[in-house]
Chains A and B, each alone.
Chain A
Amino acid sequence: MSATTTRVQENIGDPVSDKPQVSRPQLEEIFKDIQADLRYDHELHGCLNCGICTATCPAAHYYDFSPREIVQLLWTENLEGIYDAMQEKIWACAQCYTCAARCPFGNSPGGLIMLMRETAIKHEMESAKSVLRPFSRVMLKLVSTGNQLAPDMINAEHFADWGPNISKVDAPLKLLRKAIPMPTLNTTATAWEVNLRTSVELYTIWEETGVLKQLEGIDRNLFDVIADFMDEKREDWKDFLADQEDEKDD
């Protein structure tokens, strides 16, 4: 699938923006990266500004955000507008895909936003770093274990607005987890017990698909912590395989 060719040669720009000027080549590179994703042509077909997407958008109720605007910026190749939207607006989207289900053109504004988020990370934008800082705990868990959410992450310190008690039965977390009648779930640091081989295979996927590189660009400290985790698990796996060989020899 080839990327869409440029439809608008001249940048329209945003005359009222007070953001620092970004060079034209940089803006073009950012847009090229968004466009280069093979999903781009599948998710953008045209736009008549009907606004059905925005009318049904949950984020539009609460933020200065409009999926219609995002689609228009991309469709008209408004490079400065795209760059501006990537500073804050794209992070408002709730990723429900209601817009995609409703768009008469078959566009997926939610899907396009993911391409913009990925590109913001690739270009190590400060805005992306700042938005994702509170997300680092989740990313650590996900990248190192393959589970996004673990029982020990849900506590009053991080979820004070969920009430003083995480469980209505007052007992230690470890005991409550042991009382779940699925043995895979008798864990506290991961949502389920994860096989060692699973983790090692997941690390290969992260490396081969450039996800670790993304992470390194956005949060160097987090990357270092995760790299240590990975080294440790890979060593464990090597030891296990060596033990297996020894057992065979015996």
Chain B
Amino acid sequence: MTTIKSDGTSGPISAERFTGHGAEWRDAKLSPHDAGIATSWVEQKIDRRSMLTGKDRVEDVRDAMWQLEKEGEIVIHRVSDEHQPVMVKTLYGWDKKIPTQRLWHHKSCGQCGNIPGYPASLLWLMNKLNVEYLDETDQTSCTAWNYHGSGIGNLESLAAVFLRNFHQAYVAARAQGLPDSYYYPLVHCGTSFGNYKEVRGYLIHSATLRERVKAILGKLGRLVDGKLLIPEEVVHYSEWLHVMRERINAMREIDCSEIRATIHPACHVYKMVPEDAIYDDGILGGNRVAVSTGIMQALGTQVIDYRTWYDCCGFGFRHIISEREFTRSFAIDRKIRVAVEEAQADVMIGHDTGCITTLDKNQWIAKAAGKPVELAVLADCQFAALVCGAHPYKIVQSHWHASPTEHLMEKLGIDWQAKKAEFVAYLEEVKAGKQENLYDPRRMITSGPGFKPFKPLSAAIPGANRP
């Protein structure tokens, strides 16, 4: 197979270029000239990365952040060597440190409330990889879903919530007799991730905003040496998954080579503060955000391209709650139907709360309306856990998904009926108070009613999270 280069000559196509057509792809056998005509305009004009980078006025906000710390304005929560960071490249080739150990889970209200297998799969993978973490009760959501949906809230409230939650991540280890900054926050939700990065930028640039929220954080007792605490990096779980992808693949138990996967990149992960999203020259030529695609390729699936990959899911923040006519039309017509009919996908993989909810839950109504379209929808970490041997119901919690995950499991060779029967039997044990947990429940309360200090296992011991 050949392609036309920009200088007009032809040559072999790069293996990692937009190869995402899957095993059933057949060459149209166009002449080099005709192929050039057919694709050159698209390649020139619809180069997504150039759409994002072809602008000025872009700066690395972290430069100003370090300067503020130097001037004694703020304290920075660093990603230290103990967090065992892996360096990645972002949109403009800047470095970003992704911590891989000692993580504080900043949960997502939508994931935990609606698709609990999402965080459970992530924690399960971390247990398998002996990653130490803390999942505690002292945290709020970022409150940005409500803000984007209703307009109730404001920049100050978003900033105060951000700083409050990240301060708690900084001091959380005190409850275990461990030092401050022991854990580093890992943000589960895409909207929280985008919102926190945006808010961090405004905090760094606006002395007025800093002054206003400093008064509030002071009242809460959440300053460090009388200063605001700002994280060196805002890190999304999909970034952790991305840098751990080869280690996760090493644990894989199921062959995924026949799986045709489509990726839905989340808007608030890479369109908000786009300069901080990970781009990897080894993944789709570095032209699209690397998270999710990276792990799915590492696991050996066929990542299939589809023409509406760039569209949002239709969540809409307000619409998903009170105007789902828009949400379901968009989700079905612009995403699911295209992935099914054009990409002949087995699964759509996402990395954000709202997208998974929207794409998964809105398929039933299409059937009811006489326009059936079916496609399994999972988060990247759920798929990874599933093929690494996680229980599809106890861990991946696939029963909360409305989409046909059973079809996907059958293609992966998983006997979902047997697994479901195991889970139903397990519910009897749960009734008797014998449920299995991913970590010692005593760890989850770090202050206030119910808190009992205890000496945890050493962090050096593999499986220190566990009961």
A complexed with B:
yes
Give A residues with C-beta under 8 Å from B: 1, 37-39, 42, 45, 56, 58-59, 61-63, 91, 94-98, 100-102, 104, 106, 114, 117-118, 120-121, 128, 131-132, 134-135, 138-139, 142-143, 146-151, 153-154, 159, 161-163, 166-169, 171, 175-186, 190-198, 201-202, 204-206, 208-211, 214-215, 218, 236-237, 240
Which residues of the partner chain A approach B324 to less than 8 Å between Cβ atoms?
161
Q: CB of B205 within 8 A of chain A?
A: yes
**Contact indicator B109/A179 (Cβ below 8 Å):** no
**Contact indicator A185/B447 (Cβ below 8 Å):** no
B108, B194, B430, B446: most-surrounded residue (chain A CB, <10 A): B430
Q: CB of B10 within 8 A of chain A?
A: no
A96, A150, A167, A218: most-surrounded residue (chain B CB, <10 A): A96
Cα separation A166 to B427 with both chains bound (whole Å): 17
Q: How many residues of B contact A (CB 8 A)?
A: 111
**Contact indicator B444/A94 (Cβ below 8 Å):** no
Residue of B nearest to A135 (CB): B150
Cα separation A21 to B88 with both chains bound (whole Å): 56
Q: Is the interface of A mostly helix, strand, loop or mixed?
A: helix
**Contact indicator B318/A58 (Cβ below 8 Å):** no
**Contact indicator B114/A149 (Cβ below 8 Å):** yes
- The total of Cβ contacts below 8 Å across the A-B interface reads 302
**Contact A101 B430, CB 8 Å, known A59-B326, A181-B394, A195-B448:** no
Return the contact of A118 from the options B107, B151, B312, B368 (Cβ within 8 A): B151
**Contact indicator B157/A139 (Cβ below 8 Å):** no
State which of B30-38, B115-123, B235-243, B244-252 sits at the interface with chain A.
B115-123
Which residues of the partner chain B approach A148 to less than 8 Å between Cβ atoms?
109-110, 113, 141, 143, 145-146
Q: How far is the CB of B41 from chain A (nearest CB, A)?
A: 16
Q: How far is the CB of B92 from chain A (nearest CB, A)?
A: 14
Residue of A nearest to B397 (CB): A180
**Contact indicator A208/B138 (Cβ below 8 Å):** no
Interface residues of B in 138-155 (CB under 8 A from A): 138-141, 143, 145-155
Q: How far is the CB of B237 from chain A (nearest CB, A)?
A: 14
The 8 A CB mask of B363-389 against A (1 = contact, 0 = none) is: 011001000000000000000000000
Return the contact of B447 from the options A56, A154, A195 (Cβ within 8 A): A195
**Contact A162 B364, CB 8 Å, known A38-B206, A154-B114:** yes
**Contact indicator A163/B402 (Cβ below 8 Å):** yes
**Contact indicator A104/B54 (Cβ below 8 Å):** yes
Return the contact of B155 from the options A37, A61, A150, A178 (Cβ within 8 A): A37
**Contact A104 B271, CB 8 Å, known A162-B362, A184-B444:** no
